[in-house]
Every structure is written in C-alpha cells, then in structure tokens.
Structure 1
Amino acid sequence: MTTLLVIAKAPVPGRVKTRLTPPFTPLEAAVLAEAALADTLAAAAATQADRHVLVLDGEPGPWLVPGFEILQQGCGGLDERLAAAFAACGGPALLIGMDTPQVTPEILAPALVFDDCDAWFGPAADGGFWALGLAEPDPALLLGVPMSVPETGAVQYERLCAAGLRTRLLPRLRDVDTAVDAADVAALTPAGRFATCHRRLSARSAVAR
C-alpha cells in the first residue's frame, strides 16, 4: 500500500511563513501559506496512491482537499515529526512539504514507484529537501538529521547512501521561505492559486506604498 504524505502547518497568522514579513503582513503571509498548501494538496490528490495523508500541525480548515486522512503531528523536533509520519506507514511512502506549490502530479508520480530503487530524494534550492520517498519507511533514517540548516539536504542524502539505499533524485525545487522565493515560485506556475494570490497581495502592497 503506497502512501503520499503532506506535512504542513495550518495557515494561522503569526505561525506560518514568518520570513515573508515584511513585506507582507502576518495575515497576508498566512493567506499565501494557505494558497501554497491548497496547490500542494491539489497536486497530491491528483497523484495516484493508496492513501493520501495530511500530517498537520493545527486544525484542518476549508482549504482541506477531500480524500485526505488527517494525522496530527507529534511532539519534538522536525526530524522526530517526520520520522513519526513515516512510522505511520505500512508500506512505500513519499513525504512532501507545503512549501513547493509549483509541484505537479507529473513530478510526484514517479517517486511512488520503487521498482529500481529504494529511495527518492528531492533536493531544495536552499540546501534542504522538499521530498523523501522510502520503499521501506525507517524512522531511524531521519532521527538526528539537523533540520532547517544549509546542510540538511546533504546530511539526509548521506544517511540514505550510508544505509546502502539505491536512491534516485527528483528535480531540485525552490521552497517558498522569503519574499524573493515567493515571487520566483509564483512566476513558475502563474495559473496556480499561490501565484494568483501573490499577484493580488503584491499589487495591494505596491498601492499602499
């Protein structure tokens, strides 16, 4: 049974995308986060898997896409929460975050197939990773990996290699962390909800100035 996991924070002002402020207000940052999450969930829902699971910090809202199970994030650091998400899977699993609204089913679908590999790894432009797929989910592969630092991706990838896993790479994607990231990612998928929201809020900020 294959599982597609999306790990996310509920888009609550002051709790998400704080690095977007300024130029955006905390409320605007939360609106952008909700749009990014909605685009990500839509892409995940359109990707064939036996289970679609939202690993959520917070409460679900109207942005939730039908067909997703809700799994509340546990306590501890991000490495522990990611490990716990994989521990809840009884078979092959792919985990992605909510920070890459430019992701598509065409990018995700191959990473749920493990015919010639044991793992999939999606590097992020900031040195982290946006996706991790495991044919046999092992929480120990994530525990202790330093998160949210420039070497996160390198350490996680080395973990996979050191475990002897045949690892294939997904495209390198850019996370939405800063206002510059947001503008660049919005330009990649101009028809998406995130891009539409970004254009509206950017225009509003320009008028305010």
Structure 2
Amino acid sequence: MLFVDFQFLPFFALVFSVHWALRSPRARKAWLLLSSYAFYAAWDWRFLSLILFSTLVDYVVGRRLATTRHRKGWLLVSLVSNLGLLGYFKYANFFLDSAISFLGALGLHPHAPSLEVLLPVGISFYTFQTLSYSIDVYRRRLEPERDLLDLALFVGFFPQLVAGPIIRAVDFLPQLKAPVRLERTDIRAAVVLFFVGFVKKAAISDSIAPHVDAYFAD
C-alpha cells in the first residue's frame, strides 16, 4: 500500500477515527502501532519480523547502555545486528554476482545459485532510525526508553515507515508522553499538508520519475 493508492484513504480514515475515539493514551498508541504493522504487512507480512527484531535489539541495547560498563560492546551489538541485516538484504545479490564474475575471469566457473534476495520496503529508513536511538542513548543525549510500546511505535510509525524521513527519537518519543487534543486548526493544517504532499507525489514526482530513470539509465 502506497500513500497515493486509493485504498490508503479508507485506511487512513479508519486509523484516524478509531484513534480519536479511544480515550486511553496507551490504547491510542497500541492502535497506531497495530495500524502501522498492518500498513507494512499489506506489502509483505513476512518482513514484519525484521522490524520486530530491530525494535527488540535496540530496546535491549538501550536499557543495557544505562546500566553496564561495557557500553561500546552493547552499541556494537546494535550496529552489527542492524547493519548486518541491511547489508544482507541490500547487497547480498551484488556481492554474490561480483564474486562469480571475478572467479569467472580467473577461469573458474562455480555453480552458485542466485540468492534472489527481495529488498524489504523501508529497511534503510527503520534501520538507521533504530540505530540513531541507540547512538543517542550511548552519547547520553537521550534516556533509554523503558516502554517497549513507545519505542516500537517510534520505529514502525506508518507515515514515515516506508518513505522516510528518518526521525530522531529525541524529537519523537517526548511527543508520545505529552497529552494531546484535537483542534480544528490542527485539522486544517493537516489537510493542507496532506493535499500538498499528495500533489507533489502523484502529480509531480510520479510524472517525472520515468524520464529521470531513463536519463540516468543511458
């Protein structure tokens, strides 16, 4: 599901309506997290496990960074786990094909099957987002998040999950703690931003994308 797809409008309307119908702040956050996972699963539910893995790794790393003397070691756990996943899904095919080509140039012809690794949507965004959380905690710019629900929502929040931008935990997490009210001025501003973004994406970006791709392909 993309933001410019027709089915996104009823999805967003449902998420918005239920969110404000719920009275409990924690229930609202749980609903947003569930909706975010459903949004991502509409593309491929199997890759939800990667988001859950990154979330749990950095939750544990963040908590340990506050209590252990081996802080660099725990930061390394986050770096290796997240960048390892990103490297595998993004570059495994490239390195395998390069190795086969190199061996072929040496007169060797190994029969290595293609991995055909499918690149998960948004993996770069949520990988660097979770990393930024652990790095900020390591640098003592941010206290480790004790609520797993809040951290999971920070990682998986659907409006920026698949297309960015990468947001910092120090900017996002405090908003989850603050009380919120629905104001008419907020609705008007949101509608304007929503419409402007839709026009930029659907009418401008998607229109020139084929020409840009063709230009750089030459």
TM-score by length of 1: 0.28
Q: Which has the larger radius of gyration?
A: 2
In proportion to residue count, which structure has more strand? 1
Greater helix content: 2
TM-score norm. by structure 2 comes to 0.28
